[in-house]
Amino acid sequence: MKEEFLNEARYQKNEKNLTRVAIILLVVGLVGGLALIVTGGIIAVSGGKKSEYSKEIKSEKKKLEERYQELVDKGVTYDFFTEYTDGEKYELKIIHEVLDPSVNSCVFTEYKNSEYTSNYCDLINKQNMKYNTGMAKSFLGGTVLTLIGIALITTLPMIGGILLLIAKRRHITAFTTQQVLPVAQEGIVKMAPTAGVVAREISKGIVEGKNEADDPQDTQEGSQEDKKDI
């Protein structure tokens, strides 16, 4: 026996499959897209790490602090205008400025090349370069994930919604019909008496016209009256 292409069992099966695919797209789009957006945002602002050179930097910083204290104990004072030729006074100046947390003096050649602070500045600059590189990579990676998440959250739910509408088209049509049909029926019921009256009046007019046409006496009387008028 040849299998019918259009039958209720096939329709129910197709509806379930289409509904399942639509729900999967909706969930993946919303949950997956939101997760990617949040993850991308966290990665973008997390930046690089400064831990690789931390121990070495602490060690060099401690040496500079100890040397600075030795100079202070000797009576050496800080002078911003001290020159390289001033010996220990210049050494105290350059150590003081390198250890100042408000300014990154290690970016300047004088501090990078100084015999007193070159090791410390070399470690600081390496750490900052690694940190900046990590920041750039994190920002780029986070931005890409965020864009993918936005694409998922805007496209997949839309596709899933369209498929769900297609799958539930029969139910939507039935619901619409159930909402409209009672109103139409009520209108027909209310219009029925009026339509009946109109039909009766039309029928009455037709019958009366026919009767007048079939009565010869009325026709003759009408002719005589016309002659008298002449």
The predicted pLDDT at position 165 comes to 84
**What amino acid is encoded at 34 in this protein?**
L
The predicted pLDDT at position 66 comes to 92
The predicted pLDDT at position 228 comes to 47
Burial of 11: CB neighbours in 10 Å, binned 0-12, 13-18, 19+: exposed
Alpha carbons 3 and 29: distance in angstroms, whole number: 38
58, two tokens: 């602490």
Predicted structure pTM score: 0.49
Burial of 86: CB neighbours in 10 Å, binned 0-12, 13-18, 19+: middle
The predicted pLDDT at position 186 comes to 57
Distance of CA 179 to the CA centre of its chain: 35
Please compute, for residue 19, the number of CA atoms within 13 A of its CA located in the half-sphere on the CB side: 11
The predicted pLDDT at position 205 comes to 59
Alpha carbons 43 and 148: distance in angstroms, whole number: 14
φ/ψ (deg, to 5) at 166? -65, -45
* Radius of gyration over every alpha carbon of the chain, rounded to an integer in angstroms: 48
DSSP 3-state assignment of 83?
A: coil
Alpha carbons 118 and 126: distance in angstroms, whole number: 12
Among 30, 37, 36, smallest CA distance to 159 is for 30
The predicted pLDDT at position 82 comes to 80
- One pLDDT digit (tens) per residue for the chain, 230 residues: 455 555 677 767 777 888 888 889 889 889 988 999 998 888 877 765 656 678 888 999 999 999 999 999 988 888 888 887 778 889 999 999 999 988 888 889 888 888 888 999 999 888 888 888 878 888 888 889 999 999 998 898 888 888 888 877 776 676 666 666 565 555 555 555 655 555 566 666 565 655 555 555 554 555 455 544 54
